[in-house]
Amino acid sequence: MNDLLQVDDLACHFSVRRDHGFPARRVPLKAVDGVSFSLAAGRTLALVGESGCGKSTTAKAVLGLTHKTGGDVLFKGAPLPKAGTREWRRQRQDMQLVFQDPLAALDRRLPIGRQIEEPLHIHGVDDKAQRRETVTRIMTAIGLKPHQAASFPHELSGGQRQRAVLARALVLEPSLLVLDEPISALDVSIQAQVINLLVELQERLGVAYLFISHDLKVVRQISHEVAVMYLGRIVEHGDPETIFTAPAHPYTRALVSAIPTVRTTKRERIILSGDPPNPIDTPPGCPFHTRCAQAFERCRIERPELASTGDGRTVACHLAHAPDVRAVA
Amino acid sequence: MEPLVSIRNLTVDFDLGRRVSRALRGVDLTIGRGEAVGLVGESGCGKSITWLGILGLLGGRAKVHGEAWLDGRNLVGAPVSELERVRGKRIALIFQDPSSSLNPVHRIGRQLTEALKLHRGLSGAEAKAEALRLLDRVGIPAARQRMNDYPHQLSGGMNQRVMIAMALAGEPDLLVADEPTTALDATIQAQILDLLREIREDSNMAMVLISHDLGVVAENTDRVAVMYAGRIVEQAPNNLLFERPRHPYTRGLLNALPDLEGPREPLTAIPGSVPEPWNHPAGCAFAPRCDHAHGACHSEIPSLARRDGHHLSACLRTEEMLGHMLDDVSDREPARSYA
Amino acid sequence: MIRFILSRGLRAVVTIFLVVTFAFIVLRLSGDPAMQILSVDAPPEAIAAFRNEWGLNQPIWQQFLDYLLNVLHGNFGDSMREGRPAMDIVLEHVGATLMITLPALALKIVIGIPAGIYAALHRNSLADRMTMMISVAGFTVPSFVLALVLVLIFSVHLGWLPSTGNATWKHAILPIVTLGTAGAAILARFTRSAMLEVLGQSYIRAASAKGLIWRQVVTGHALPNAAIPTVTIVGFMIGSLIAGAVVVESVFSWPGIGYLLISAVANRDLAIVQSILLLIALCMVCANLVVDLLYGWIDPRVRLRSAH
């Protein structure tokens, strides 16, 4: 297996307080429940889904930032070192995280040049002059002018701030970048700049992206593979072109059809009823059956496993694998 | 179409103590009865401020000038008591974050009946019955139980439905929906937009849909106004604007937008960023980022000119550019439909 | 609800236990009561006898266990100086303290809260700035300084009010005003910022957008929400009704708990000091409990979390 990142049957179950009582009653919350995927060097895998589907928790577990309760995460073939240990810290150089809000990710009191340089310092790379040189190089690569190293975060625009955050993440030349909604907080005209930059940087540096987003259009633009998540599980996984043009899972179909477009040709819109169920009490059987128009008896009892449909993708839906059983519905 | 609200040369200045920041630089916009108008633009372009300013909801530091006519009366400079009768009753607003737009310490039912008492003079059992009807109308299941819930017990989508029910309480002529689905998930956004469409079909209520999402506006309005740095730069019926955009900014926005269909190619980003209000360019505000800007663009402010029909564009070079625009990227390839 | 009270009750017991333990140990380590009460040059036999009588020659853990057992039986020890039950002496002084702290609390609430609300509603106006200036002055000036200034003006110069003692109701006025001023200043500032915080919330704008007139927005949508944090500080003030007047009482020689505490500390009258500290801790803990319950009552977000 030469994959950069290999995630097998990952589970993150939390125990959450339900009330203020004494003693506190705790219930399990299955934020991530059996997620598997792999990511090769220089490629992009997008995790998409709505809030609470477990995509951000998966990302955190991959970085070892949250405790996993089951499964394995292999990075370059080896399990993640324990969080907080020296090995784990050393591995930070090779896997970096970028958040949604660049202003929150930057220190307001430090000029961005210093912040971009800081990871080099922390990981004991190079002497001072070399560090400065690396910073200048990375800033140029990322589309910031070297003189902006002296600027403070509030002096930059939203797009420039996100560039600074990316520069800081890339300065150690990681092989994996986890991007959690990296462009959601940016305006449309700036989004395009950052999307293009990400694509370009990947080509140039060969960095792999684990890209977390709710925006399918952006995901299609940037990723080689897409995994659609619902209530802590992957329900459909494959190539973005296939998934977005002919979604196989009813949830993906609804999600894709819900995306508003400026095209004047109207598409059929599938409108799901209700909210996603609370991850504290996930329904038995297929977690999506409560909102699925096609659900039939089996969906309420048996949870469909993620299985190949023969066209290079995997889908977790009884109907996708045996369309005939639908007679019951 | 009979005009409902006519805005003329509306400006808003914020008094920041040391300096005055101009947020709105002369907006002209007419909303017809029953019409759905989209207002798009990036953050800070003034799309929300337009309506908050007209209704006097910007607070004491905002200075609003210009005209906003409703039933032959100018709302700009009108006494507060008059504005209070317009708010909610003639022009209702819903906001981006439904969960924080509802008071966390009052029950849903109380907040809804409060609006009914205010606008329709209903109280007691009558108000309660009408509140139930409205909650039912906006698709809230088990409305009777929800009346006793607090906002934090409901999801974002449900809270936005409550906000819509509250807006409907006054049977307004115009609903201003300020990014009503931005904080919601995609499938919930589709539900809310569908609900708004349905309500408008039943009631002939006009709607202004404010959004940064061009797709949302394209699918839910009849006419669109694109705003940039405190001005409307282009205004046209929906199909014209998205198929034949004229203003370089609109075209830039459309080209910068990734799509779910068609070939996958690098996006054409608009270089640079929106000017800060205190650093506003002398001429056309978009000129510093515009590929087509020449001499006059940097000194002269273009007005929203009507060249033909209802397609308005505030660009000095509209005429010269029309030719090469038509065979430009704006012609997107026809959409494929999903299997 | 019952579980909520139980869990808070348990925490309260732990808190009080910690206070009692701490007080006990610090008091034992900080000097010998025998020396203080009998004077340093008392004959050694007298000192030994005194120590024996009060159990001071036993190991400290033994003394502590005895003390705890006694407390559990409602026996808080006797005053070494007067030989009477310490708690009786303490309770005799509670009335005097409340005589000034209760009116002072009323003064704080009646002046502080409306001033804070008014200032917030007229932010940056002249009235707001004046209120805040007075408020800053009110809580930065230490109470003994304020007390002395008041005495200087009203007793020495004008001769309207007596400066020390507790013979008539007039004696209470200056202590009450001194206590009330500082508290009102704190409360005004706190209420103002709570109010400003609430006025900046989206639901306030949404309530205005609904068509409510400003007065309805303030009374119906701002005040109930601003009350939530304000309750905390008022609760704290209620908790300090007994302990909050130490300085003022000693400046005005007002024979309350504070006055008693200071003389008991000076005299190493251990049982008295311990009883007072126990009483103060009890008040604080009760006030906290009341605040928590009130919180649950005003803020549905808290209430529902505990009710489910």
pLDDT digits (tens, 9 = 90+) for A206-223: 999 999 998 999 999 999
3-state SS class at A44:
strand
Is B78 an interface residue toward C (CB < 8 Å)?
no
Residue B337 lies in a domain: no
Q: Within this chain, do residues B65 and B125 fall inside the same structural domain, yes or no?
A: yes
Q: Are residues B286 and B147 in the same domain?
A: no
Give the integer Cα–Cα distance in Å for C240 and C246: 10
Among A23-32, C24-33, C103-112, C248-257, name the most confident range: C103-112
Ordered alpha helix ranges (H), chain C: 2-29, 33-38, 44-53, 60-72, 86-121, 126-140, 143-150, 170-199, 202-209, 214-216, 223-239, 246-251, 257-267, 270-298, 300-307
Mean pLDDT of A111-130: 85
Interface test with A, best of B161, B332, B338 (most A CBs within 10 A): B338
Q: Is the pLDDT of residue A255 over 60?
A: yes
pLDDT at A327 over 70: no
Classify residue B332: in a domain, yes or no: no
- Residues of B in Cβ contact (< 8 Å) with C210: 87-88, 92, 114-115, 118, 166, 170
Do residue B105 and residue C210 have CB atoms under 8 angstroms apart? no
A78 versus C156: which is more confidently predicted?
A78
pLDDT of C67 higher than 90:
no
Buried b (16+ CB within 10 A) or exposed e, B41-80: bbebbbbbbbbbbbbbbbeeebebebebbbeeeebbebee
Pair B187, B40 in one domain: yes
Of B84, B105, B115, the CB nearest to C225: B105
| Residue of B186, B188, B194 lying closest to A275 (CB–CB) | B188
Residue B93 contacts C where some CB pair is shorter than 8 Å: yes
pLDDT value, residue C304: 52
Are the Cβ atoms of B118 and C212 closer than 8 angstroms? yes
Q: What is the pLDDT of residue B333?
A: 42
Query: Are residues B183 and B36 located together in one domain of the fold?
Result: yes
Which chain B residues are Cβ-neighbours of A214 within 8 angstroms?
Answer: 185-186
| Cα separation values, B156 from A52, B113, B180, C137, C200, Å | 13, 20, 11, 45, 21
Please give the average per-residue pLDDT across C104-110, as a whole number: 93
Phi first, then psi: what are they for B267, rounded to 5°?
-75, 150
With H, G, I as helix, E, B as strand and everything else as coil, classify residue C225.
helix
Verify that B150 and B184 share a domain, yes or no. yes
* pLDDT bracket for residue A39 (50, 70, 90): very high
Percent of chain C with pLDDT over 90: 21
Would the pLDDT of C172 be above 90? no
pLDDT on residue C236: 84
CA B139 to chain centre: 23
pLDDT value for C162: 78
- The residue that leads in pLDDT, C179 or B36, is B36
User: Please, which chains are in contact with C (at least 3 CB pairs closer than 8 A)?
Assistant: A, B
Domain count for chain B: 2
pLDDT tens string A170-216: 888 899 999 998 888 778 877 888 898 899 889 988 999 999 998 99
In a domain, B338, yes or no: no
Helix (H) or strand (E) segment spanning residue B247: none
pLDDT band at C1 (very low <50, low <70, confident <90, very high): low
pLDDT at C46: 80
Structure confidence at residue B115 (pLDDT): 95
- What pLDDT is attached to residue B86? 95
Query: What tokens does B53 get?
Result: 């300013």
**What phi and psi, each to the nearest 5 degrees, are found at residue A282?**
-75, 140
pLDDT, position A323: 61
Token code pair at residue B9 = 């040369």
* List of domains in chain C: 94-268 (1.10.3720.10)
Mean pLDDT for chain C? Answer: 84
Q: Which of B150, B148, B143, B119 is nearest to B129 (CA)?
A: B143
Asked if B69 and B127 sit in the same domain, the reply is yes
Q: What are the residue ranges in chain B where pLDDT is below 50?
A: 326-339
> Using one digit for the tens of pLDDT, what is the confidence trace for C135-166?
888 878 888 888 888 888 888 888 788 777 77
C297 Cα to chain B: minimum distance (Å): 10
Q: What is the DSSP letter of B5?
A: E
Name the domain boundary from B221, B254, B288: B221
On chain B, the residues whose CB falls within 8 A of the CB of C206 are 93, 95, 101-102, 163
* B185 and B134 within one domain: yes
**A38 and A7 Cβ atoms separated by less than 8 Å:** yes
Place of tokens 């462009």: A183
> Does residue B43 sit in the same domain as residue B134?
yes
Average pLDDT, chain A: 86
List the subunits that have 3+ CB pairs under 8 angstroms with B.
A, C
> Which residues on B lie below 8 Å from C213 (Cβ)?
81, 84
Q: What pLDDT sits at residue B338?
A: 35
> Which band of pLDDT confidence, cut at 50, 70 and 90, is reported for residue C124?
confident
Strands (E), chain B: 3-15, 20-32, 36-40, 62-70, 73-74, 91-94, 174-178, 206-211, 223-228, 231-237, 305-308, 311-313
Residues B212 and B263 in one domain: no
Q: Which of B221, B256, B283 marks a domain boundary?
A: B221
Q: Could A20 and C4 be called an inter-chain contact, meaning their C-beta atoms sit closer than 8 Å? A: yes
Look up the CATH architecture of domain A5-94+174-328.
3-Layer(aba) Sandwich (3.40)
Test the A interface: residue of B40, B149, B187 with most A CBs within 10 Å? B187
| pLDDT at residue C286 tops 80 | yes
Contacts of A191 in chain B (CB under 8 A): 256
Domains in chain A: boundaries: 5-94+174-328
For B203, the domain range is 3-221
Strand pairing report for A44-48 and A208-213: parallel
Partner-chain contact A20 C10, CB within 8 Å: no
- The reported pLDDT for the residue numbered C303 is 60
Same-domain pairing of B14 and B162: yes
Looking at the structure, do residues B114 and B80 belong to the same domain, yes or no? yes
Using an 8 Å CB-CB cutoff, list chain A residues near B250. none
Determine contact: C10 vs chain A, CB below 8 A. yes
Does C302 contact chain A (CB < 8 Å)?
yes
DSSP code for A76? T
Residue of B nearest to A223 (CA): B264
- What value of ipTM does the predicted structure carry? 0.85
Q: Is residue B236 part of a domain?
A: no
Residues of A in contact with B191 (CB under 8 A): 271-273
Contact A192 B258 (CB under 8 A): yes
Residue A41 binned pLDDT confidence (cut-offs 50, 70, 90)? very high
Q: Is residue B87 part of a domain?
A: yes
Note the pLDDT of residue B237.
Answer: 94
Q: Is the same domain home to B131 and B212?
A: yes
Mean pLDDT of A148-165: 86
**Residue B239 domain-assigned (yes or no):** no
Contact check, Cβ <8 Å, C301/B150: yes
> Taking the CA of residue C248 as centre, how many other CA atoms within 13 Å lie in the half-sphere pointing to its CB?
32
Query: Inter-chain contact A275–B335, Cβ cutoff 8 Å?
Result: no
